[in-house]
Amino acid sequence: MEYDFREIEKKWQRYWANNKTFRSSVMPEKPKYYVLDMFPYPSGAGLHVGHPLGYIATDIISRQKRMEGFNVLHPMGFDAFGLPAEQYAIQTGQHPAKTTEINIKRYREQLDKIGLSFDWDAAVVTSDPDYYHWTQWVFIRLFEHWYDKKTDKALPIQMLREAFAQGGSQAVEAACTPHEPFTASEWAGMSDIDQQKTLLNYRIAYLSDTMVNWCEKLGTVLANDEVKDGFSIRGNHPVVQKKMQQWSLRVSAYAQRLLDGLDRIDWSEAIKETQRNWIGRSTGAEILFDVHGHDLRIQIFTTRPDTIFGATFMVLAPEHEWAQQLTTDAQRRAVEAYREEVAKRTERERIAETRRVTGVFTGSYALNPFTRKPIPIWLADYVLAGYGTGAIMAVPAHDSRDHAFAKAFQLPIVPVIEGGDTAAEAYESKTGKLINSQDFNGLEVPRAIEAINAKVEQMGIGKAKTNYRLRDAIFSRQRYWGEPFPVFYKDGMPQTLPDDQLPLVLPEVEKYLPTEDGQPPLGRARNWHDAQGNPYELSTMPGFAGSSAYYFRYMDSKNSKELVSKEANGYWRSVDLYVGGSEHATGHLIYSRFWNKFLFDLGLVCEDEPFKKLINQGMIQGRSNFVYRVNNRKYAEAVLWEKLNSDVLGFKFKRDYNFDHAIYTFCCEEKKLIIECSAGKTAQKFLDEHQGPLRRSGYRLLVLSIEEIVEDLDAVLRRAAVLLDDREALPEHDFSKASKEAYLPLFVSKNLVRPEHQPMEIHVEVSLVRNDQLDLEAFRHWRIEYEKALFVLEGGVYHCGWAVEKMSKSLHNVVNPDDIIEDFGADTLRLYEMFLGPLQSSKPWDTNGIDGVHKFLLRVWRLFHNAQNKLEINDDEPTAEEWKSLHKTIKKVRQDIEELSFNTSVAAFMICVNELSQLKCRKRAILDPFIRLLSPFAPHLAEEIWQRLGHRDCIAFAPAPSHDEKHLVESQVEYPVSFNGKTRFLIVVPAQHSQELVSELALSSDKAQKWLEGKTPKKVIVVPNRIVNIVL
């Protein structure tokens, strides 16, 4: 083999590993570049070709940056805690650490084969105690801090204690769980336990009773981003709402900063928008409404205080704390029934019943603070307890949900903004003047909002308020395979472990299931308590715990004293380029920004955003292949009918011939011949029953087995022809052979399939198909039931159908990178993944196209080697043409790399190689920079050639070539000449010609005369170096 990629790739992968070529360290004299891939969860299935897409892209960037003189940090690791390993452990008893280790090993092998320049010395594995030591350590800081709204940062709990001692709860403005206010003396009078309970309302990591997403099947709670449509994202199991004591992280405290930070980072607008929606900021007002006959004031939240005169009723969440008190005796039974019904309903049912309006009247009335008119108070589940104040003023005229509710329960609809037909539907637009609003009539909406807010504040019944949809993240999981909390309980109150006792290592358990009394699996661990016998927390941390600060550990992964040293963090700062899938938009990418900001507040890290630039690589979809299994009988009848009907036998046949209370498949009336198709087994029986009666009526009966029609249609037709020829001849029948193997699977090539064959589309393993042609032998061996399959071919081949679908085992379209590397090499795989299309867009994988890039690499090899496969290179001075080919490629490729447009840079390389091959260029001055330019894309090939060229250091750190404009200047310009915008011909003009001269040359050229048709042009436009357009 002239280009022996197997040998070359093995050699250089070994070289890089042995020499630790890509090991990174702090080098203050060099500029840094930190490029990171979202680390994978090592699943049992291994990598398919879709996974390394982003890794290859970041590898090209890393290699390019190294050659540009940057000190590059390009690490990889494993997000190793997770449900699949634990589910597997439950099924098999195998320790999840064991399977995880095996899976990691396999991932590592697969990644190594691709030639990725990772610094494996910096690798982290989240399930490694040396790693989760720091996850636990950060958790303790989260527990030991609270969020101060005045300085807008996290502060130590000790400061909060001091503030409470001095001025009670009024002394601070903190992000906290709502609770009764207390004075300094009340604080001083609290027991230690009560003080601890109170502090939990403020801690950033806190324990509380909250409504959680409980997944019975997984036996654990899930965060909002782990649930979709009432089902768990992992495993698709039903999820219900349940109140439980759980750890949470006060992410909501950071809502505004998480929102503001988005404006300072270079992420795709789509992801930023998703995060903005998830954070869900809305500005409005909280307003108190008196309750008629009660000494209560209900606080509502609204974004439309301008519509307060249209508030004709009030709605509370069914779980609202005052729902009971507000219920009158007459309504009590109805209210209780409704509250029970709502509580029982699962999240899933609730979503399924969206748009079904339900609710119940409490019997009480609130007073509209402006009109003092009583308005009924209802309970309805379209108002959520967890948002705003859990209560709204309903304005049916200007809110569609309120409108639907008012319609359903015949409540009044009063328009207060002109411009809509509010009897029919809600007018939700914020344009128009106020009506029915006393003093505020005539004001435009924005002005009215200001005016009413001011009035509300003046009346002392409310104030402007901003709300966020973003909820605190539930942080405990009732599972085994996760980070243990560094927490023990004393007198029922949580306490964190001292730092010197970290890491708290995950204990062994004999079974990975919950205990008999419903405790999490850690309830099975022996001695799961501290030295004093205080029990440890039984929950473990969720998946996102380990991935929220991993990018800091890479900076200083061996540091056993700190999360990250000041020095390492100060040098690497934050990730310059982060690449991963967009599915993490609302999970990982929010949580890690939150952790980062928290660590920033504590002065532990120097940047408040972790990922400067983010790219979402598109999914690689699978390309499935199909075979078409047909109904044997339908197929046999169809092909036979096609022949009989096309008159090849010279007689007219009828189909579905009705005779003597029976329907026969085909009949030639003229010759009184009936042809019947029958499955082999039943053919003899059919013959015995029908032959006699038909003969008596003067008909002859030819029974054909389906098998013989399928196998040899011509022989069948010959037999029929004989019978048509000779009136007297009796058909012969021998079903002995056919009857044995009735209905062998029959597959018809794609273009021969007809709907009347009743085809079934069957996914076939894509490795059995090449260029959409089926390997029949391999297919027969694929499945035992296809061993004796019959095929109807086109031109000797079976053509498969295809479709683009998700790459998945069940669709048999998974392509393994190892196989591609075995057949074509890692450099070809790398190049082809990039060539497929833009990094960010989804595109189907099609192994068929890979020959193109492989041939390209072969041509590169031949550029340097002669027919004897010996390096052949000379030191001749390149021609202008050769210089130009090289330098335009350098310019294009380097610009494309900056823009992450790798598909076009591969195309540019191909063009360059085609040109240089054409020119038979073997000049060192051209090929030496060329191979350096190519090296980030095809590093193995480049290293090998680089070494053969006589270089002793490896190409990975050779200087990147840069282009020189002087080689790109043109002496001649080719102008397309168009008439009325339609291009007609080209003229070649010296580059220095003026526009007037170009215009004259265009008009005077021979070809122009034909298009001018003697007319004088109205106008001639010359765009320098671009185009000439003649307007007639």
Partner RNA sequence: GCCCAGGUGGCGGAAUCGGUAGACGCGCUGGUCUCAAACACCAGUUCCUUCGGGAGUGCCGGUUCGACUCCGGCCCUGGGUACCA
Residues 961-1020 that bind RNA (CB under 7 A): 974, 976, 978, 980-983, 986, 1010, 1019
Whole-angstrom CA distances from 593 to 265, 588, 668, 835 are 11, 8, 81, 33
Q: Are 987 and 997 in contact (CB under 8 A)?
A: no
Nearer to RNA, 658 or 994 (CB): 994
Between strands 205-215 and 240-249, the pairing is: antiparallel
Between strands 614-616 and 577-580, the pairing is: parallel
Question: Could you tell me the smallest distance in angstroms from the CB atom of residue 747 to RNA?
Answer: 20
Question: What three-state secondary structure class fits 698?
Answer: coil
| DSSP per-residue codes, 820-874 | HHHHH-HHHHHHHHHHTS-TTS-EE--GGGHHHHHHHHHHHHHHHB-TTS-B--B
Nearer to RNA, 710 or 850 (CB): 850
Instruction: Select from 211-219, 513-521, 834-842, 955-963 the region that touches RNA (CB under 7 A).
Output: 834-842
- Please give the Cα distance from 156 to 203 (Å, whole number): 9
- Please give the Cα distance from 511 to 815 (Å, whole number): 36
Nearer to RNA, 37 or 347 (CB): 347
Site string for RNA, 296-315 (x = CB under 7 A): -----xxxx-----------
Planar angle of CA 72, 577, 16, nearest 5 degrees:
35
Question: Could you tell me the smallest distance in angstroms from the CB atom of residue 608 to RNA?
Answer: 25
Question: Could you tell me the smallest distance in angstroms from the CB atom of residue 786 to RNA?
Answer: 25
Q: Are 893 and 909 in contact (CB under 8 A)?
A: yes
Within positions 314 to 333, which residues make up the interface with RNA, using CB under 7 A?
Answer: 317
Question: Could you tell me the smallest distance in angstroms from the CB atom of residue 650 to RNA?
Answer: 34
Q: SS3 letters for 604-660?
A: CCCCCCCECEEEECCCEEEEEEEEEECCHHHHHHHHHHHHHHCCCCCCCCEEEEEEC
Nearest to 1029 by CA among 987, 971, 992: 987
Nearer to RNA, 390 or 415 (CB): 390
Question: Could you tell me the smallest distance in angstroms from the CB atom of residue 268 to RNA?
Answer: 7
What is the residue whose two structure tokens read 């009044």?
412
State yes or no: residue 751 binds RNA (CB under 7 A).
no
Nearer to RNA, 962 or 983 (CB): 983
Nearest to 821 by CA among 1, 2, 10: 10
Question: Could you tell me the smallest distance in angstroms from the CB atom of residue 896 to RNA?
Answer: 8
- Alpha helices in 320-399, H assignment, sequence order: 323-326, 329-344, 347-352
Instruction: Select from 23-31, 596-604, 632-640, 903-911 the region that touches RNA (CB under 7 A).
Output: 903-911
Nearer to RNA, 16 or 301 (CB): 301
Question: What three-state secondary structure class fits 180?
Answer: coil
Within positions 364 to 383, which residues make up the interface with RNA, using CB under 7 A?
Answer: 381-383
228 bridge partner residues: 231
Interface with RNA (CB under 7 A), residue from 583, 607, 775, 1000: 583
State yes or no: residue 581 binds RNA (CB under 7 A).
no
Question: Could you tell me the smallest distance in angstroms from the CB atom of residue 855 to RNA?
Answer: 4
State yes or no: residue 671 binds RNA (CB under 7 A).
no
Rg of the chain over CA atoms, in angstroms? 38
Question: What three-state secondary structure class fits 304?
Answer: coil
Instruction: Select from 333-341, 779-787, 905-913, 990-998 the region that touches RNA (CB under 7 A).
Output: 905-913
Nearer to RNA, 694 or 850 (CB): 850
Alpha-carbon torsion angle 42, 46, 51, 54, nearest 10:
60
Q: Are 911 and 68 in contact (CB under 8 A)?
A: no
Q: Are 798 and 772 in contact (CB under 8 A)?
A: no
Within positions 765 to 824, which residues make up the interface with RNA, using CB under 7 A?
Answer: 771
Question: Could you tell me the smallest distance in angstroms from the CB atom of residue 903 to RNA?
Answer: 5
State yes or no: residue 224 binds RNA (CB under 7 A).
yes
Question: Could you tell me the smallest distance in angstroms from the CB atom of residue 306 to RNA?
Answer: 11
Interface with RNA (CB under 7 A), residue from 213, 364, 540, 582: 582
Within positions 122 to 151, which residues make up the interface with RNA, using CB under 7 A?
Answer: none
Question: Could you tell me the smallest distance in angstroms from the CB atom of residue 364 to RNA?
Answer: 19
Within positions 921 to 960, which residues make up the interface with RNA, using CB under 7 A?
Answer: none
State yes or no: residue 884 binds RNA (CB under 7 A).
no
Nearer to RNA, 351 or 454 (CB): 351
Interface with RNA (CB under 7 A), residue from 3, 480, 856, 937: 856
Question: Could you tell me the smallest distance in angstroms from the CB atom of residue 937 to RNA?
Answer: 13
Token pair for 300: 């509502």
Within positions 344 to 363, which residues make up the interface with RNA, using CB under 7 A?
Answer: 350-351, 353-356
| Total of chain residues touching RNA, rule CB under 7 A | 84
Within positions 240 to 279, which residues make up the interface with RNA, using CB under 7 A?
Answer: 269-270, 273-274, 277-278
State yes or no: residue 463 binds RNA (CB under 7 A).
no
Interface with RNA (CB under 7 A), residue from 453, 586, 705, 935: 586
Instruction: Select from 171-179, 437-445, 656-664, 900-908 the region that touches RNA (CB under 7 A).
Output: 900-908
Nearest to 774 by CA among 793, 755, 753, 751: 793
Helix and strand tally (H, E) in the chain?
Answer: 34, 38
Nearer to RNA, 534 or 914 (CB): 914
Question: Could you tell me the smallest distance in angstroms from the CB atom of residue 312 to RNA?
Answer: 13
Amino acid at 649: L
State yes or no: residue 228 binds RNA (CB under 7 A).
yes
Beta strands in 399-480 (DSSP E): 462-468, 473-474
Per this entry, what is the length of the chain? Answer: 1032
Instruction: Select from 71-79, 502-510, 532-540, 837-845 the region that touches RNA (CB under 7 A).
Output: 837-845
Nearest to 159 by CA among 149, 144, 170: 144
Question: Could you tell me the smallest distance in angstroms from the CB atom of residue 231 to RNA?
Answer: 11
Interface with RNA (CB under 7 A), residue from 83, 555, 853, 955: 853
Phi, psi torsion values for 220, nearest 5 degrees: -155, 165
Nearer to RNA, 303 or 816 (CB): 303
State yes or no: residue 844 binds RNA (CB under 7 A).
yes
Question: What three-state secondary structure class fits 314?
Answer: strand
Beta strands in 724-800 (DSSP E): 746-748, 760-764, 769-770, 773-774, 790-792
Question: Could you tell me the smallest distance in angstroms from the CB atom of residue 452 to RNA?
Answer: 13
State yes or no: residue 343 binds RNA (CB under 7 A).
no
Peptide bond into 503 cis (omega under 30): yes
State yes or no: residue 188 binds RNA (CB under 7 A).
no
State yes or no: residue 459 binds RNA (CB under 7 A).
no
Instruction: Select from 198-206, 753-761, 830-838, 922-930 the region that touches RNA (CB under 7 A).
Output: 830-838
Within positions 389 to 418, which residues make up the interface with RNA, using CB under 7 A?
Answer: 390, 392, 399, 401
Question: Could you tell me the smallest distance in angstroms from the CB atom of residue 260 to RNA?
Answer: 18
Interface with RNA (CB under 7 A), residue from 86, 119, 225, 319: 225
What is the residue whose two structure tokens read 């108002």?
383
Question: Could you tell me the smallest distance in angstroms from the CB atom of residue 500 to RNA?
Answer: 41
State yes or no: residue 1021 binds RNA (CB under 7 A).
yes
Q: What is the DSSP letter of 535?
A: B
Question: Could you tell me the smallest distance in angstroms from the CB atom of residue 277 to RNA?
Answer: 6
- Alpha helices in 680-797, H assignment, sequence order: 680-696, 706-711, 713-725, 736-740, 776-782
Question: Could you tell me the smallest distance in angstroms from the CB atom of residue 910 to RNA?
Answer: 4
What is the residue whose two structure tokens read 């540009």?
68
